[in-house]
Structure formats: structure tokens, C-alpha cells
Structure 1
């Protein structure tokens, strides 16, 4: 029997780390932290090991392209509209505006400066 959520880490591959860091730090108003990892440039999102959810990192690695569309990582937002307001100014694009997902809250899809599609998720009011 599973005791926690099955996904524990995500990596978002980038071509230009400075550009990508600037985008994510601007949209989500957070600072990324350098991770020491041989053969790749990694910058992690904030992590709280004792909290529900997963963290991850921006990664630049030789031979790995950005812009894959097979998996979408969703970022928690208290109000999706606030992050959406920052996306275009930070160099990204809005793919799908804030949309109700019924009892699960609201979501939006955006494309970062590296061509990666990511999701924004806002829980319903009673879950906040």
C-alpha cells in the first residue's frame, strides 16, 4: 500500500539556464538554489522534505533538449491569475488561461522560455 504521493521529484530541462532561472524566479517569486551534480547544471526549487508534494530542479545537461511535451509538472498557486500575470513579462506564453476543474480547483497551462509546458494549479477554497 502506498504511503505517500507517488511522484517525488521532477526535472525541467533547459537550454539557457540564466534565462530559465529568471523566468521561474519571476513568475513564482522564489529563489532557486544551486545543486552540485557532476556533468550537469542544476538549480532546485525550494524544498520542504516534511511537507506534501514534490520539488524539482531546472537542469542543463549536454545532449538533453528542452521542450518535451510528454509530461507536465504542475506548480501550486494560491491564485493562478497572479502567476499568469507574470508569465508574458518574464518571456513565457499562456497556453490555456485559468480554467475551472470543478471540485479540484483551477488550472492554467503556460510555456516557459525553453519551450516546456508547465501547469499552474490552485486548490478549491476549502482546501487552501
Structure 2
């Protein structure tokens, strides 16, 4: 059975700043994809590294005129081995800790942060 979620997009207002935030906090690679822009909408797109055949969701950072960032949209959780270690990099990367590490029983631990664009995202780990 495939995961119910197989793609996500995180909207940005400052594309370069958002790319720096995600690479600094999660120590991941983002690859710019060329997109065709028309007179109606300008878009920038960078995909998070991953294996297309793996069972996990893949996704991208997106700058799109018609989709502004912000809290209240879709909430996604990034997997992390150590939430406290990841949280320690958030503020220096331009983000904010919204809710510190919280125990959710047999499902592990979660935390909420605000990225450099004002999006709320989650962190989740088993330890």
C-alpha cells in the first residue's frame, strides 16, 4: 500500500531565503527545477532530495504568485532523528520555535516551528 501523501509543496515569498532556511535546518539538498512561466503567473521551484521509489513523500519549495505562504494551510511533519538538535538550528536559520518537543506516546515526539516564510511546519521523531 502506498502512502496517502506522496507530494507536498511549501510556499515561499522569498525563494532564496526559504532555500537557505531548509538547507540550514534540515541539512538537506534542494534542486532547482526549470519551470515555464507565463504572463499570468511566475513560479520558482526547488525539489527536496529523495528516492522516487522509496515509500516516503517527496516535495518542493515553491514561489507562486497565487499561493502565498503562512500559518493555517497544510501542516506537514519532517522526520528527524533528534528534535532537540533540529530545534537548536531553527532560530539561527531565520525561523521560530512555536511549540517545543512534546511527547505523543507510542507515536513518538513532535514539535512545531515557523519557517523563514511564515509557514508552520512540524518535526517528528521516535526519540
| Matching of residues 76-87 of structure 1 within 5 Å | 76-87=79-90
Bigger mean CA offset, 29-38 vs 103-112: 29-38
2:19 alignment partner in structure 1: 21
**What SS does the corresponding residue of 1:89 show, helix, strand or coil?**
helix
In the alignment, structure 1 residue 58 sits paired with structure 2 residue 61: yes
> Which of 40, 45, 48 is the equivalent residue of 1:42?
45
Gaps of 5+ in 1: none
| Secondary structure class of the residue paired with 2:16 | helix
- 2: distance between equivalents of 1:60 and 1:89? 22
TM-score by length of structure 1 reads 0.90
**Counterpart for residue 115 of structure 1:** 118
Give the Å deviation of 1:35: 1.5
Structure 2, gaps ≥5 residues long: 38-42
Rounded Cα–Cα distance in structure 2 between residues aligned with 1:115 and 1:12: 10
The offset of 1:68, in angstroms, is 4.1
In the alignment, what sits opposite 2:31? 33
Give 2:40's aligned residue: none
Q: What CA RMSD, in Å, does the superposition of the two structures yield over aligned residues?
A: 1.1
Change (3 A) 1:30 1:52: same
